[in-house]
Amino acid sequence: MKRWFRGRLGRVAGFAYILSAATLIASFMVAGSPTMLTEAQAETVTMCHATPADTAANGWVSISISADGTVLDSQHSTQHDADIIPAFEWTDQDGLHSYPGKNLTANFSGYTGQQILANHCSLPTPSNTPVPTNTFTPSATPTNSSTPSDTPTASSTPINTATASSTPTNTPTMRPSRTPTDTMTPTPSNTLDPSITPSATSTASQTPTPSDTPTSTPTFTPTNTSEPPHLVDPKVDSLVEDNDNNGVVSPGDVIEYVITITNDGGSTAEDVSFSDTPDANTFLVVGSVTTTHGSVTTGNTAGDSSIFVDIGDLTAGDTVTITFDVTIDPNLPSNVTEVSNHGLVSGENFPDQPTDDPDTGDADDPTDTPIVQPEPGPTNTPSDPGDPGDPEPTPNQTPQTPLLIPVTGVDLTGGGMASGMVFNMGLALLGLALVVHAWSLRSSQSSEESH
């Protein structure tokens, strides 16, 4: 071994070998460091989107958003006054970050945003509040009060009234010298017998009892006409694969659509289905279609270019979430500045319902995603246009970038650029060590031949 590193050049070569090995090891350590990762954690958080966004007059719907820094600039955080967003953390190339949440302590009809979020984006119902059960109180008062109108009055009056109407008609004429001996006492012809009590005597102290007093309580059975089903279906887009690491949606990137379908009507929506055909400038990622209710019939089989989900019946208050991914055409024409997507919810007992972009004030509008086109590269001009040996210039030719040799496990993009630089430095040192080593061996052989 000493023969390989003899002399001054041999020692320089050995030192270069050691330094290159240390540099390569350092590049692997930097690449493996979690703080150098550029991709945000591929997670989502569930938030409550207000309808409309500034007042929540129609309540909230539950949607999913990417759990990374993009929420800081989203309309949910900056413009939608009544949206409720939970607190969460994410990690990127700059380290660990946290989002404090939005409207978690705000008061909505006596409840905090945190309570509404915990109650699946709806106002809680107090457990001690009685629920009406269609109790009927009759408004009609019985009109038969049964007040006796005839009060018995004693109409019988004794007809035998003791009235002495008889007057003696024979009045004797007496002589003055004689004293009458016969005194006539008039006797009434009609004498009332005081022992007779009138039989037609009526006392009005008796209280009549009405015979038509109602004995049953009226019973009212209300006829409940259930409200028809009503579906709301916001569709939210988000960047899930930033293949050129520019932080915006651009050709070749992958975006995800999340459709949240909720039946906020009063009855079951029957035989519900969802269908969607991606924008012509995007390609469906086959196998990415998911649903929380029902089954995916089209979209996860090779060759599929559209989506169909058989949801089935959706009872009042139920929610189903459907997701799928699309890839933006890498060769997108330069004049295309956005892609658009519009799905359709259908069923048996309600009209067709198009999906809605919750980031706009319009109803049932398609979800539009702005596209940022890359800037054209500089024109490559030959150094001597008059030299016929030079190749013709190619318009809009992008200059070649330095070649980085990829190594398994090493991240050479974004935050891993530092590891790539260290890795290339190690390769350069290794090459230098090989050259110096070869010179040292050649010098050593020349020295031995001269002796």
Distance of CA 392 to the CA centre of its chain: 59
CA–CA separation, 33 and 9 (whole Å): 36
- The Cα–Cα gap between 11 and 441 comes to 11
CB burial string 275-292: b at 16+ within 10 A, e below: bbebbebbbbbeebbebe
Q: Where are the domains of the chain?
A: 1-35+413-451, 39-125, 227-372
With a CB cutoff of 8 Å and minimum separation 6, the contacts of 360 are: none
Q: Are 70 and 20 in contact (CB under 8 A)?
A: no
Sort 293 into a burial class: Cβ within 10 Å, 0-12 / 13-18 / 19+. middle
DSSP letters for 101-167: -BSSS-EETTEEHHHHHHTTSS----TTSPPP-------PPPS---------------S--------
Instruction: Please tell me the distance from the alpha carbon of residue 334 to that of residue 283, in angstroms, as a whole number.
Output: 18
Distances (CA, A) of 407 to 31, 126, 404, 410, 425: 10, 60, 9, 6, 14
Greatest mean pLDDT among 42-56, 239-253, 395-409: 239-253
In the beta sheet, which residues pair with residue 338? 370
Give the pLDDT band (50/70/90) at residue 203. very low
Q: CA torsion angle for 416, 422, 427, 432 (degrees, to 10)? A: 160
Residue 270 pLDDT > 50: yes
Most confident of 76-80, 209-213, 248-252: 248-252
Which pLDDT does position 177 carry in this prediction? 44
Question: How far apart are the C-alpha atoms of 309 and 345, rounded to whole Å?
Answer: 10
Q: Is the pLDDT of residue 334 over 70?
A: yes
Region of 283 please: left (phi>0), alpha (psi -120 to 50) or beta: beta
The pLDDT score that the predictor gives to residue 78 is 86
Burial category of 240 from C-beta neighbours within 10 Å (exposed 0-12, middle 13-18, buried 19 and up): middle
CATH class of domain segment(s) 227-372: mainly beta
HSE-up of residue 294 (Cα within 13 Å, Cβ side):
24
The CA-atom distances, in angstroms, between 295 and each of 230, 326, 337, 407, 408 are 21, 20, 34, 41, 38
Neighbours of 81 (CB within 10 A): 13
Q: Between the ranges 94-98, 140-144, 306-310, where is the mean pLDDT highest? A: 306-310
pLDDT in tens, 371-390: 998 876 665 554 454 445 55
What's the CA gap between 145 and 334, in Å, rounded? 91
Check: CB of residue 432 under 8 Å from CB of residue 16.
Answer: yes
**Mean pLDDT, residues 167-196:** 48
The mean per-residue pLDDT over the stretch 411-428 comes to 60
| Reported pTM | 0.41
User: For residues 379 and 365, what is the distance between their CA atoms, to the nearest angstrom?
Assistant: 41
Residue ranges of alpha helices (H) inside 51-112 are 75-78
More confident residue, 175 or 242: 242
**Is the per-residue pLDDT at 350 higher than 80?**
yes
> For position 73, what pLDDT does the model report?
79
- Residues 433 and 13: their CA atoms lie apart, in Å, by 5
